[in-house]
Every structure is written in C-alpha cells, then in structure tokens.
C-alpha cells in the first residue's frame, strides 16, 4: 500500500527509468510485431528492429541470476534482448497454433461504491493478445512477461489478480468490440514468459552433452566401414565419425540449462471470476479509505524492495517522515503514472461503466 500511495497516487518516482521497466516494454513492442492479426508470424528481422527502436537511447546491463555481481551474470541489455527474441522465434517456430483475433486492448472499469454509487476507483489494464487456439478449439487471452528466474511451480498464477481481472472484464469488452458472441466463452489466459538469460550452447534436441568417450564412438560407428577392432584411438574414431557424417555425443550432463521459455495457462471458473470482481471492489474500497486518511498506509517489505524506485525514500520514512519528504522534494520527480494508459485509451480503449462485482 505504501508503494501504491506514493508511486501511483502521488506520482513519485526516480528520475531514472529502471532498466527492467523499459526493457520489458521493448520486448512487448517486439512481440507486437511477431503477432499481427491472423496466423502468420512477423519475421525475425522485423521483430529485432522493433525491439531496437523501442529501446531508443536507453542502454543498461541486466543481471541474469541476481545475487553477487560478476561478469558471467551481467549482459548488455541490447544483446540480451536480441538473443532472447531470436531464441524465442527459433523455439516456437511458425507458432501457428494461435490465430490472433485482436491485439493490445486497453480497458478500464469504473468501480463504484455499491451503496452510494460514488466512483471510488478506475481499474485499468491492457492485455496483449486475444487468440483462438486452433488445437484446443477455445478462445484465450495472452499476456507476455519477462522474468529473471523461472519457478518450478507456476500454480500461483491461478490466484494471480491480473489474470483473474482480465478474465473478469474481457467478455464484456470483446462483446462490445464485436469480437466475441454472447454465448462464447474465454477458456483462460496464457502467461507467455521469456527468461532474461542468454541461451547456452546445446545440441539440436536442446540437451547439453559431455564430450564423447571412446565407448560412444564405438557404439555410434558400429556396423560402418572400416570394421573396428576396439584398439583405435579417439582421434582416429573421431575422424571416422566425421567422414561418415555422424555426430557423436557423450552422456547428457547432470545439470541441464534452465528453460528459457514457458507458457502457463490459468483457467478460472464462473465463481472465481465473480469472486475476482468482489476482490477488485474490496481493494478499491480500501484504497479509497487510504486516500481519504481513514486508514493507515501500511508497508509489506520483501527481498525485492531493493529494486523499488522508492527504496531510499521508504527507508527514510521509517526514521523520519519529514526528512523523507525533504528527500522526495529534492531527489525524486513527479510523473503522471497513467499517461501511457490514457494515450492508449484515446487510441482504442474501452471503458466499462456497468461492471458488477456480484
């Protein structure tokens, strides 16, 4: 709540745009080019050009694993982004499973007090794609994300407020646009994730192998000419394999590279979607009370706080709120945090006036 109040409500932020912020935006711009309406995918050169243009004059370094900083973990953001997108296109190929129906849809929902009808908040967002899954024969939303690390259990996305809210409002938005019939159903939302990491060299099957030993050569060359005695050196066996056009691999390494790409689909039933509306109303009511000074501004510190643009401000606030405000006046800037959303709404957004929470 502390971050929401001071960053989103007051507009306080660091003068410098964090690398993770513009980097993620540039990846999104590139994927817009990759996924035009239809089943044909944008060409890789166009995708990379869109990424480079979106980066503009921004440059920075990105840490792949976090923790202690060393050269092996640090990548130039431009090189990393291009490598991620190149690997993504290679990994998914023609990716024709998705028939894209609509892209980049901004929306906002008026959240009103159910007793008085007073407007207490405007819930806004933008989903990246609305698609028809040609394999499962269902409609789905898609949201692109970049992540520093991948989890082993993704079920937390089944409780994710972003996914729940998008599925809550999407039917009404898409029906208004004439893209979804009143009896059509949106099956779920796909979180399409790219890990911020350089690809590691692997074989064509995506596995990393140790160097082959003599036994691997003998097994691979069995039945080929010349007949083998088993007394040949590895050098000779390697030459035989080269002449025969055989790629000999060793044993698979015990530690394989972590996946670079992941797609997780979360499905929400009708009761879950209705409950999401209630959660939005409850949160909006809480925010309204904070704005009016009826509730305190609470903090919920996590290990990610050090990445927050208001971290130093928050630290000072713990010691002396007046000193923190002095720091904000001299070291922070004020921005309209919703400027991009307002511009997107003017270009084709949809405002939902009568979205009920129950």
Q: Final residue of a domain: which of 63, 95, 127?
A: 95
The pLDDT score that the predictor gives to residue 262 is: 94
Does 326 fall in a domain? Answer: no
More confident residue, 97 or 55: 97
Q: Final residue of a domain: which of 46, 63, 95?
A: 95
Does 184 fall in a domain? Answer: yes
Strands (E) in the chain, as ranges, are 12-13, 61-63, 74-76, 98-112, 119-133, 138-147, 186-195, 261-266, 333-334, 350-352
Residue 183 and residue 85 share a domain: no
Three-state SS for 239-253 is HHHHHHCCCCCCCEC
Residue 150 and residue 169 share a domain: yes
Condensed to tens digits (0 to 9), the pLDDT of residues 342-356 reads 888 888 888 877 655
Q: Print burial letters for 194-206: b (CB count within 10 Å at least 16), e (below 16).
A: bbbbbbeeeeeee
Q: How many folded domains does the chain comprise?
A: 3
Does 194 fall in a domain? Answer: yes
Does 222 fall in a domain? Answer: yes
Does 47 fall in a domain? Answer: yes
Which pLDDT band holds residue 5 (cuts at 50, 70, 90)?
very high
Condensed to tens digits (0 to 9), the pLDDT of residues 166-185 reads 898 888 889 988 999 988 99
Rounded to whole angstroms, the Cα distance separating 157 from 296 reads 29
Residue 284 and residue 161 share a domain: yes
190-201 average pLDDT score? 87
Does 307 fall in a domain? Answer: no
CATH code: domain of residue 102: 3.90.320
Residue 272 and residue 123 share a domain: yes
Mean of pLDDT over the chain? 86
Question: Three-state SS for 67?
Answer: coil
105-129 average pLDDT score? 87
Contact assessment for residue 64 and residue 20, using Cβ atoms and an 8 Å cutoff: no
Residue 283 and residue 175 share a domain: yes
Cα distances from 203 to residues 87, 89, 90, 208, 257, in angstroms, run 14, 17, 14, 6, 12
Q: Final residue of a domain: which of 50, 78, 95?
A: 95
Task: Please give the residue range of the domain that contains residue 214.
Answer: 204-256
Which pLDDT band holds residue 323 (cuts at 50, 70, 90)?
very high
Contact assessment for residue 210 and residue 253, using Cβ atoms and an 8 Å cutoff: yes
227-240 average pLDDT score? 86
Residue 231 and residue 117 share a domain: no
Residue 34 and residue 176 share a domain: no
**Of 54-58, 201-205, 341-345, minimum mean pLDDT range:** 201-205
Rounded to whole angstroms, the Cα distance separating 265 from 139 reads 12
Condensed to tens digits (0 to 9), the pLDDT of residues 262-288 reads 999 998 888 888 888 888 888 889 988
| Residue 71 reports pLDDT greater than 50 | no
Question: Three-state SS for 124?
Answer: strand
Residue 275 and residue 187 share a domain: yes
Residue 343 and residue 264 share a domain: yes
210 DSSP 8-state letter:
P
Does 282 fall in a domain? Answer: yes
Residue 87 and residue 105 share a domain: no
Does 212 fall in a domain? Answer: yes
Residues in a beta bridge with 217: none
Residue 59 and residue 24 share a domain: yes
The pLDDT score that the predictor gives to residue 72 is: 46
Residue 246 and residue 271 share a domain: no
């Amino acid at each position: 709540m502390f971050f929401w109040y001071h960053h989103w409500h007051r507009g306080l932020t660091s003068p410098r745009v964090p690398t993770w912020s513009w980097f993620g935006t540039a990846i999104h711009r590139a994927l817009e080019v990759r996924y035009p309406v239809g089943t044909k995918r944008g060409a890789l050169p166009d995708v990379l050009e869109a990424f480079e243009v979106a980066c503009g004059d921004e440059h920075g370094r990105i840490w792949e694993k976090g923790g202690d900083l060393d050269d092996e973990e640090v990548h130039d953001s431009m090189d990393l982004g291009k490598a991620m997108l190149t690997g993504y296109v290679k990994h998914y190929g023609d990716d024709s499973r998705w028939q894209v129906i609509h892209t980049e849809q901004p929306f906002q929902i008026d959240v009103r007090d159910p007793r008085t009808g007073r407007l207490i908040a405007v819930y806004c967002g933008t989903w990246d794609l609305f698609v028809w899954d040609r394999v499962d024969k269902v409609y789905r939303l898609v949201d692109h994300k970049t992540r520093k690390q991948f989890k082993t259990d993704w079920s937390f996305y089944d409780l994710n407020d972003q996914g729940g809210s998008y599925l809550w409002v999407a039917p009404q938005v898409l029906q208004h646009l004439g893209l979804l019939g009143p009896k059509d159903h949106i099956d779920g939302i796909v979180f399409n994730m790219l890990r911020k990491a350089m690809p590691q060299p692997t074989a064509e099957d995506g596995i990393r192998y140790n160097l082959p030993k003599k036994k691997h050569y003998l097994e691979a060359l069995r039945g080929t000419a010349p007949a083998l005695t088993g007394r040949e050196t590895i050098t000779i066996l390697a030459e035989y394999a080269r002449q025969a056009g055989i790629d000999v691999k060793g044993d698979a390494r015990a530690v394989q590279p972590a996946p670079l790409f992941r797609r997780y689909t979360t499905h929400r039933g009708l009761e879950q979607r209705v409950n999401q509306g209630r959660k939005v109303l409850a949160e909006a009511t809480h925010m309204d009370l904070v704005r009016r000074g009826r509730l305190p501004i609470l903090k919920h510190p996590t290990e990610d706080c050090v990445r927050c643009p208001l971290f130093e401000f928050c630290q000072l606030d713990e010691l002396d709120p007046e000193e923190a405000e002095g720091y904000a006046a001299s070291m922070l800037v004020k921005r309209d945090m919703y400027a991009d959303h307002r511009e997107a709404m003017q270009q084709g957004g949809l405002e939902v006036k009568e979205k009920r929470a129950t």
